[in-house]
Amino acid sequence: MGKKNFRGKGRRGGGGGRGGSHANGGWRDYPAIAKEHEAFQNYYDSLLQLPEEEKKEFWDALRRDLPNSFRFAGSKGHALSVKRHLQTRYIPEIVKIEHQDGRPVEPPQPVPWYPDELAWWMTTPKNVIRKFPPFAAFQKFLVSETSVGNISRQEVVSMIPPLLMDVRPGHVVLDMCAAPGSKAAQLLEMIHQGEEARVKKVLRTFAEEDGLVVGKETQDEIDVDLEADPSDAGRATGLLIANDSDYKRGHMLVHQLKRLSSRTLSSRTTMLSSSLRSSYPPRPARTFT
């Protein structure tokens, strides 16, 4: 796949940057890389023995570029608000951007199977979003929201295992190969899921018992299940043990998890360790007969 050319409309139209007449910012098209390897393909054809009608679909899927994807932090009370900001502020700007041949850029779309539309993807590569001026505001949005923990940049396939585990508040989770930390962050969010609404509901109950006048319940407070994690006044009591055998990659893991600003990151809900995966569980002793 070669470099893509884009152009903007309106104030950010034309070249969108230095170079004046260079609408693509001085980029050149390069020949598409042929994603073919005969020995590799023959090996998997013989191994999988796919029916002929499925074989082309299988190889076409492997040749497709991975989408540029990100996920809104589900444990944050304002995650849906940040998502609405994407929909109302940035997507209307992105749809004004065109390829050099006049085709409109595909805007971000929600991943259809991810709960609450908190995961999104788009076909425009990351390097284009970083460097091409019409995407500047969107890139700044992604960077700033990622830095404060409202967005996680994560491949779609990486989002699947935590969902299949169906982690709930109060669960104890061991992640044996946790770095760089995208899945670990997702697991931690799931442990904290609903915590803010539970705490608000408990505080409201205490206030009413003291005869204080409080405002109307929010929909989140109405919907939340206090029994999901009831033992500490609504606060999360689960635990994530995030392990990786590579000490340097462990630094990346810590950086990922610190973005979530969990009040109990270092003590209550997360443990960080660095051990060889092969030692869990211990290997059985060899026996000979």
Q: Quick check: helix, strand or coil at residue 121?
A: strand
Range 183-190 average pLDDT: 91
Domain boundaries, the chain: 32-158, 159-279
Instruction: Give the pLDDT band of residue 11 (cuts 50, 70, 90).
Output: very low
Say yes or no to pLDDT of 14 above 80: no
Say yes or no to pLDDT of 20 above 50: no
Find, among 141, 139, 152, the residue nearest to 72 by Cα: 152
Q: Specify burial of residue 167 (Cβ count, 10 A radius: 0-12, 13-18, 19+).
A: buried
Say yes or no to pLDDT of 278 above 60: no
- pLDDT score, position 46: 94
Find, among 227, 215, 218, the residue nearest to 78 by Cα: 218
Residue pointed to by tokens 């299949």:
164
Query: In the chain, pLDDT over 70 holds for what percent of residues?
Result: 78
Find, among 228, 196, 198, 237, the residue nearest to 75 by Cα: 196
Tokens of 199: 């705490």
Instruction: Give the pLDDT band of residue 285 (cuts 50, 70, 90).
Output: low
67 within 8 A of 119, measured Cβ to Cβ: no
Q: Which positions make up the binding site for S-adenosyl-L-methionine?
A: 177-183, 244
- pLDDT per residue as tens digits for the range 155-165: 999 999 999 99
Residue pointed to by tokens 């890139």:
139
- Give the number of other Cβ atoms within 10 Å of residue 217's Cβ: 14
- pLDDT per residue as tens digits for the range 67-123: 899 999 865 567 888 999 999 999 999 999 988 888 889 999 999 999 989 999 999
Q: Quick check: helix, strand or coil at residue 117?
A: helix
Q: What's the CA gap between 268 and 273, in Å, rounded?
A: 15
- pLDDT per residue as tens digits for the range 57-70: 999 998 888 889 99
Q: Which positions make up the binding site?
A: 177-183, 244
Alpha helices of the chain — where are they, by DSSP H? 38-48, 52-63, 79-85, 91-94, 126-131, 136-147, 160-165, 182-191, 195-209, 219-223, 247-258
pTM of the complete model = 0.74
Q: Which CATH class is domain 32-158?
A: alpha beta
Pick the more confident residue, 47 or 214: 47
